[in-house]
Each structure stands twice: as structure tokens, then as C-alpha cells.
Amino acid sequence: MTSAANSSGALPASVDAMLELLTSRGYLAERSLATVTYLSLRMGRPLFLEGEAGVGKTEIAKVLSAALGRKLIRLQCYEGLDVSSAVYEWNSAAQMIAIRMAEAAGDTDRDQLSSDIFADRYMIKRPLLQALEPDVAGPPVLLIDELDRADEAFEAYLLEILSDFQVTIPEFGTVKAPSPPIVIITSNRTREIHDALKRRCLYHWVDYPAAERELAIVKSRVPGISAKLSQQVVRFVQALRNQDFYKSPGVAETIDWATALSELDARSLTPQVVGDTLGALLKYQDDITRMQGDTLQKVLKDATSEN
């Protein structure tokens, strides 16, 4: 692929190499995630990651850009996100000054003026346009974060960019990326993304990690934590995910909680310390209320029993 040949940070040559690359940056991925990431790099296709909040979807883009030495360009989506904040905008104030200057100089050639005004230097480039520009380090990593928060109109706009990696600007012409950026799109599923967009991407559902992997993640992200505590933390969180909560804790919450516990110098989980720090794990009052009393005792007993 062209992108592989042009880049200075070489792309991994196999799934195992991909896995190693991610691990080297502290991202302990499931093999399946490493596989789709590898495929998306090799095939030059956007990677569409869906999953609950806090399972590490955004993180993978950051890790990729760091590991491959590419620029990370992030587009955070929100309702009403439009072309002028996502792609480009004209610097109208500067344009107006230029027009006045031309007038003052007695320059009245309209065509000349128009091509002067709509030139590159009056253009304010937003993330999507930046991502199409050539970069010395190789094509950048473009993170389109939480696409489900943008509205359908913006999603439709993305179709052209994602399939041809080009943008058409009426006053300017078409800007096409010399080599396509690495695109990671994330969604929390607060709304369904249209099939047309998903079709252009490789899709992967990022799930909560298995206990063993989560333990490794906690150990690598919270260095000071004791083996006993980290094991109890992971067992506790995994048990919580089996409960019928409105919002189960993600990996990000596990790390937060482990950090909190380790800041409090907790040696092991006790009802007292869990009760005090539950807010790091559960973010809905209903869920926290449900965790009082018997449920808490039971989960806690299971989590701490074998130690």
C-alpha cells in the first residue's frame, strides 16, 4: 500500500507486530482489536469502533499516533457540528481588509480580487482538512470522536471524505489527500450511525476486557498498586458488570477506582473504603443505591474471598 511505503514510522507487518506495538505503548488490546486495527492500516480503511463508554476506543487512536510517530488530529463531534467547524472557514476579517487594501490601491480587477481573496492564506483549516494535508511524518491519525453526537447531516458529509479522502471547497476546488490518513471513528451508540457510513469502514465492537486482561491493564496503568488490591479491584468490577446496572463501569472507571484506592493507601477492599469510593465506579445515583447493603456485602465477599 502507498501509505506504508511513504511513511517514516513503518506500519506493523503482522497482527502480532500490531499487538506488540500497542502493548509497547501500554495499550493491552484483545487480539481481535489488534487484528482489525492492523487490517484498517493495511487496507487504508477507516476503523469504526463502537462500544460502551470507557472501554478504550479513543485511547487506541492516541496510542497509534504516538507509536507510529504520526500527528493526531482530533475532531470531537457535537450536535450541530458543521462544515465551518469541521473542515474549513474563511477568515472574513482578513479578507475584508484585503478588499479594502485593493480598493485603496485602485485595483479593480474583480476576477483577480476574487482569486486573491479565496486563497490558501485566508483559509482557516479545521481538523478534517488538516488531516488531508501531507505531513512529513506520514499521513496523520484522524480521530473522529463520538460520531453519534453529531447529527445525520454531518454524517452524510463525512461520506465523501471517508471514501475518497477529498473535500470539495466551492471557491477553491478539490483538496485530495496525497495518501489517506489513518481514520479512527468512535461511537457510544447514543444514536445509530447510518449503514452507508459503516459500510465504508471496518467495524469492531469493543467489549469490556476479560478479568485477566483487565488485571494487566490495572497493573500497567496504576504502577504503585499491590497485587492483592489490584486483583480484588478487578474481581469486584467484573462482578459489577454482571449486575443489572444502568451503566456498568468501563475500564476507565476501573483505572480511576484503582488509582483512588491506591491514593487512599488502601491495602484491601473493605465495606468502608468501597462505600467511600464507589462514586469512581458508578455514575448513577440509582446504581449506587442498589449497591448498598446486601448486594455490596455479597460482591465484596466474592471479590475478597480467595485472598
Partner 1 sequence: MAINHLAPEQTEQFADNIVGFARALRAAGMPVGPGAVIDAMSALQVIDIGSRADVFTTLEAIFVKRHEHALIFKQAFNLFFRASEEWKHMLDSVPLPEQARKKPQAGSRRVQEAMSQPRMTETPQHQEQDLRLSVSDKEILQKKDFAQMSAAEIAEALRAVEKMHLPQAELLTRRRRPDPHGLRLDLRRTLRASLRTGGDIIDIHRLGRIEKPAPIVALLDISGSMSEYTRLFLHFLHAITDARKRVSVFLFGTRLTNVTRALRQRDPDEALASCSAAVEDWAGGTRISASLHNFNKLWARRVLSQGAIVLLISDGLEREADSKLAFEMDRLHRSCRRLIWLNPLLRFGGFEAKAQGIKMMLPHVDEFRPVHNLSSIQELITTLSRPLPPHHRSLIRSAA
Residue ranges that bind partner 1, judged by CB under 8 A = 14-15, 31-32, 35-36, 38-39, 42-43, 45, 50, 79-80, 82, 84, 89-90, 92, 95-96, 99-100, 102-103, 108, 110, 113-114, 117, 151-153, 171, 188-192, 195, 198-199, 202-205, 244, 246, 286
Residue with cell 445525520: 152
**In this complex, which beta carbon is closest to partner 1, that of residue 79 or of residue 120?**
79
- Of the CA atoms within 13 Å of residue 227, those in its CB half-sphere come to 1
Least gap, CB of 170 to partner 1 (angstroms): 9
**In this complex, which beta carbon is closest to partner 1, that of residue 145 or of residue 221?**
145
**In this complex, which beta carbon is closest to partner 1, that of residue 82 or of residue 263?**
82
Cell numbers at 62, concatenated: 492516541
**In this complex, which beta carbon is closest to partner 1, that of residue 96 or of residue 264?**
96
Least gap, CB of 306 to partner 1 (angstroms): 30
Say if CB 260 and CB 276 are below 8 A apart: no
Neighbouring CB atoms inside 10 A of 257's CB total 23
**What CA–CA distance (Å, rounded) separates 157 from 266?**
50
**In this complex, which beta carbon is closest to partner 1, that of residue 120 or of residue 265?**
120
**In this complex, which beta carbon is closest to partner 1, that of residue 79 or of residue 306?**
79
Cell numbers at 186, concatenated: 468512535
**In this complex, which beta carbon is closest to partner 1, that of residue 42 or of residue 74?**
42
**What CA–CA distance (Å, rounded) separates 237 from 83?**
41
CA of 86: how far to CAs of 19, 54, 146, 154, 275, in Å? 32, 24, 14, 9, 43
DSSP for 38-88? HHHHHHT--EEEE-STTSSHHHHHHHHHHHHTPPEEEEE--TT--HHHHTE
Least gap, CB of 249 to partner 1 (angstroms): 15
Least gap, CB of 97 to partner 1 (angstroms): 11
Least gap, CB of 131 to partner 1 (angstroms): 22
Least gap, CB of 190 to partner 1 (angstroms): 4
- Of the CA atoms within 13 Å of residue 238, those in its CB half-sphere come to 17
**What CA–CA distance (Å, rounded) separates 272 from 230?**
17
Cell numbers at 37, concatenated: 486495527
Least gap, CB of 275 to partner 1 (angstroms): 22
Least gap, CB of 49 to partner 1 (angstroms): 11
**In this complex, which beta carbon is closest to partner 1, that of residue 39 or of residue 239?**
39
Neighbouring CB atoms inside 10 A of 187's CB total 23
